Structure 1
């Protein structure tokens, strides 16, 4: 692999930069794609929007946040840390994937630094503070924990059964007030729980490929919302309140 060096210190990322801040920035950027299922092509625009929502992108004078984020992505491509899967007609990368060996390194580092916590079976418990939570296969018996009090991102993917809406509501009701990202892509969700609209810090709401049919007027309460992904849903009309965001 080009451009990556190992590091004896488990709490640091090392990519050959002299500055620790640059190494940390690249580590944060790489840790985001590792939450996607193995062997899945990853949409570049989605990763950029998630980086922005999670605060990984630093503002640079004279550039938009999206331009800065695209620069991060190009840097990862140039160092062969991620690989282009396909391109748009204008030649710009559309999707990318991660080499298996590189993915193992990223996942290992993310676990060491408690960047991502994954729950993929019933009865799973967390023992330390959770900042980014990925729930796979089941939401049954996932109970609110004091370790979720600083949770910034919640991803619920690849559920094997129906989405227990009561479990989801209980998570929101008990806390998660700091949540910036909520991604429910591919879940059998039919109605957006009212509790979602109390997440005043939410910047990214992913409902792609769900069974959602409408977006309620309560959407106006999400004043910080930057991305609302409704592709593949049954939503045909948005409320006028969306213009207030």
Structure 2
């Protein structure tokens, strides 16, 4: 009898220190979501400045007519989330272990997913706990003569209710974070396996030059080599000899024109000198 009294006193003490308040809007939403799988998530859970009490109440799902309450606590020191189940004045607890918890960092997101009698805990986009439970909240609600459910929560932290865990995680940009990590991992693996090393680059360049040489009959390097002059034939002997003769004739014609132009410039200068020195003019 004494143990029962102490247990009830402890329960009342905890209830009085919960600081949970009824959220009518969230309760209405929960009535719609609880008929099937659903997820409750909270964001930006900051560590307490005064760590006298390491246990902090997050939210409570209350079935008034069925006399069932499910209260979720965050226990940073023990690194777990605890569910206190009050069913017809009988209290027992279920612990969801979360090894990544500590007493100093802010939890960016905490999500509890319910699927039939299975429960999963996600902290900062990571699934840290998954197990089967002795209860099914959806069946408990649907089997009531007058279905009724209330949601009480800690007002300091934003709370959301979603149909699935994917929607809850996308709200905290978990997908973006995972993509960035995946990209960094891909680049790291590429570097470690040498996917972008100089040897492969040179091999690819050699294959391109080989295809070019097979198509045009000469190397790309010859086209950009500055040692090849325009007045020296670069055509290989495999080409038509008529084309070679025409090119040589064209070179000779250019040289003749250059010589003629030089002679004309000389004649113009002599004529200019005679005009300037003409006494009779």
Greater C-alpha Rg: 2
Q: TM-score range by the shorter chain?
A: under 0.3
TM-score (norm 2): 0.19
- Structure with higher RCO (Cα < 8 A, 6+ apart): 2
Write 1 or 2 for the structure with the bigger share of helix: 2
What is the TM-score normalised by the length of structure 1? 0.22
Q: Counting strand residues as a fraction of each chain, which structure ranks higher?
A: 2
